[in-house]
Amino acid sequence: MTVRKRVVILISGRGSNMSALIDAAAAPDFPAEIVGVISNRADAKGLGFAAARGVPTRTVLSKGLSRAEHDAAIGRELAGFKAEIVCLAGYLRLLTPEFVATWQGRMINIHPALLPSFKGLDTHARALAAGLRIHGCTVHFVTPEMDDGPIIAQAAVPVLIGDSEATLAARVLDAEHATYPLALRLVAEGRARLEGAATVFHDVEDITRRDRRIVAPVAAATQPDFESLARFTP
């Protein structure tokens, strides 16, 4: 296998997507290795999980630093890790345009909605309020505008009758944990590349495609089969 890409994950909290990436990268044929995790919060739960899995962690607190100073400090840690790809996974701090430009095409983010709908926070509450019957998640290249970069992969789940914000969030999170490793794999292998303002795909014929329809509403009593309901692009 070709040399695995060196990936650093930026987190601020729970770190379940980070965990999914660490688990995926534990497979010998995964094209990336997670060489470090950086948090901007000392109490981020994900730090403990990463350390327990033997992944080096760093905390770069933002308190008292300007955004530019903080990003510069993160940049030094990334250089120390010799990072080639950066994954944002629940990283709750806006990045400077300079930092984003430095990592253009090499930094990706996961968002808990089917972009370009529901950028920003509280996506599940907003999806419920809008009466959506289908919701999901998106992994995209990071560009200066928040939640706006070219899409790499998405997965959709049904909104069940009677869903609460918590039940919907849990269903989307399951889909996130499958979608982020797929997207990182595509980027690490150079099969999803940022070219201009678009993601261009190469050699993606092996990605499973089954039933291409998602039909909702789905009765709340029916436990959805995430494998068959999650539809990935490409």
Q: Binders of ligand GRF: how many residues, by CB under 6 A?
A: 14
- Rule CB under 6 A: say whether 174 interacts with ligand GRF: no
Q: Quick count: other Cβ atoms within 10 Å of Cβ 23? A: 14
- Nearer of residues 130 and 219 to ligand GRF, judged by Cβ: 130
- Judged by CB under 6 A, which of 7, 136, 176, 185 binds ligand GRF? 176
Alpha-carbon distance of 105 to 194, in angstroms, equals 5
Q: What is the residue-wise DSSP string for 31-96?
A: SEEEEEEEESSTT-HHHHHHHHTT--EEE---TTS-HHHHHHHHHHHHHHTT-SEEEESS--SPPP
- Nearer of residues 69 and 122 to ligand GRF, judged by Cβ: 122
Task: Kindly identify the residues of this chain, within the stretch 154-173, that bind ligand GRF according to CB under 6 A.
Answer: 173
Q: Which stretch binds ligand GRF (CB under 6 A): 8-16, 49-57, 148-156, 205-213?
A: 8-16
- Rule CB under 6 A: say whether 14 interacts with ligand GRF: yes
Of 150, 190, 154, 187, the C-alpha closest to 172 is 154
Least distance (Å) between residue 32 CB and ligand GRF: 17
By annotation, the residues acting in catalysis are: 111
- Nearer of residues 3 and 166 to ligand GRF, judged by Cβ: 166
- Judged by CB under 6 A, which of 5, 9, 10, 13 binds ligand GRF? 13
- Nearer of residues 72 and 148 to ligand GRF, judged by Cβ: 148
Length of the chain: 234
- Rule CB under 6 A: say whether 112 interacts with ligand GRF: yes
Q: Which stretch binds ligand GRF (CB under 6 A): 7-15, 23-31, 159-167, 183-191?
A: 7-15
* DSSP E strands, 81-150: 85-88, 107-111, 134-141
- Judged by CB under 6 A, which of 17, 40, 154, 233 binds ligand GRF? 17
- Nearer of residues 119 and 193 to ligand GRF, judged by Cβ: 119
- Rule CB under 6 A: say whether 16 interacts with ligand GRF: yes
Alpha-carbon distance of 204 to 217, in angstroms, equals 31
Token look-up 């903080």 returns 70
Cα dist from 117 to 66, 87, 123, 138, 172, whole Å? 30, 21, 9, 10, 15
* 154 close to 232: Cβ distance less than 8 angstroms: yes
- Rule CB under 6 A: say whether 84 interacts with ligand GRF: no
Q: Quick count: other Cβ atoms within 10 Å of Cβ 41? A: 19
SS3 state at 98: helix
Residues near ligand GRF (CB under 6 A) are 11, 13-18, 89-90, 110-112, 173, 176
